[in-house]
Structure 1
Amino acid sequence: MRPSARRIEAAIAASEHAAALRAPVICPLCERPIPPEAKSSRHHLVPRLKGGTHKGTVRLHQICHSAIHVRFSETELATRLADVEELRRDPELAAFIAWVRTKPPSFHAPTRMTRERRESRRQRD
């Protein structure tokens, strides 16, 4: 019997938490440490909706993960930004990274999509 996706996620989270206690994980996007008390999540390099369920993930600060998803569509992430280096080279995300690097490792703030970007997405969809 195959374990459920929920059990797999829980096992991965427990393993990552134990590893974080031994040595701090470094966010590959902003290159700041991710302390155990910081909000963080796993980012699928290729979105699951675009076939990336088993194509790799990276642990990011939640604010970094949210910054990616408010700026880019699933299609953009799958076609041109399926790699951390490509994400870091994007000019808009580079400005965010420069800003967030000045914050403490456990810093978190809500990330909202701008009205302009929201309207632009509605027109595309």
Structure 2
Amino acid sequence: MAAVEAAAARRHPDICPLCERPIPPEAKSSRHHLTPRLKGGTHKGTVRLHQVCHSAIHARFSEAEIATRLADVESLRSDPEMAAFITWIRDKPPTFHAPTRMTRERRQTKRERNR
């Protein structure tokens, strides 16, 4: 059964709803909870994203921010920071992956909160 699913995925790979590039079986990918689990989103739905796209979301935004203003794909796509990321990633190959670091502003906010 797994071989049949893999063959079907190669013929019709999933499309990342964030960057709109195909997600072939060999690409790193993960499920993104539209409402973070920590904010009550355990059963509220997920979307499959490239891992680099998923990491970009969590590198830029807190769980609270995702839950309150970015809990759907269109809100994420229209955010200026994510729009810049999408423009950058759009011409990369579907299997492209790069380590993603938390933004400087987000690191600073976390440091201040933990003091």
Shared fold (TM-score, shorter chain, > 0.5): yes
Which residue among 93, 96, 106 is the counterpart of 2:85? 96
Q: 2: distance between equivalents of 1:82 and 1:20? A: 27
Partner of 1:6: none
1:42 paired residue number: 31
Q: Does residue 105 in structure 1 map to residue 94 in structure 2? A: yes
Residue 74 (str. 1) matches residue 60 (str. 2): no
**Aligned residues between the structures:** 110
Q: Percent identity?
A: 81
How much is the aligned-residue C-alpha RMSD, in angstroms? 1.5
Letter in 1 for 2:110: R
| Letter in structure 2 aligned against 1:76 | E
Unaligned runs of 5+ in 1: 1-13
TM-score (norm 1): 0.82
CA distance 1:79–1:114, change in 2 (3 Å)? closer
Q: CA deviation at 1:113?
A: 1.2
Please point out which of 53, 62, 84 is paired with 2:73: 84
For 1:102, give the aligned amino acid. Answer: D
Q: Report the residue type matching 1:75 in the other structure.
A: A
Q: Find the aligned partners of 1:114 and 1:45 in 2 and give their Cα distance.
A: 21
**What's the CA shift for 1:121?**
2.3
AA of the residue aligned to 1:112: R
**TM-score w.r.t. length of structure 2:** 0.88
**1:121 aligns to what?**
110
Task: Choose which of 6, 15, 21 in structure 2 pairs with 1:32.
Answer: 21
Q: After the TM superposition, which parts of structure 1 deviate over 2 Å for at least 4 consecutive aligned residues?
A: 17-22, 114-117
Question: Mean alpha-carbon deviation: is it higher for 20-29 or for 47-56?
Answer: 20-29
- Give per-residue Cα distances to partners, 1:40-70, cap 9 Å, x unaligned: 0000000000000000000000000000001
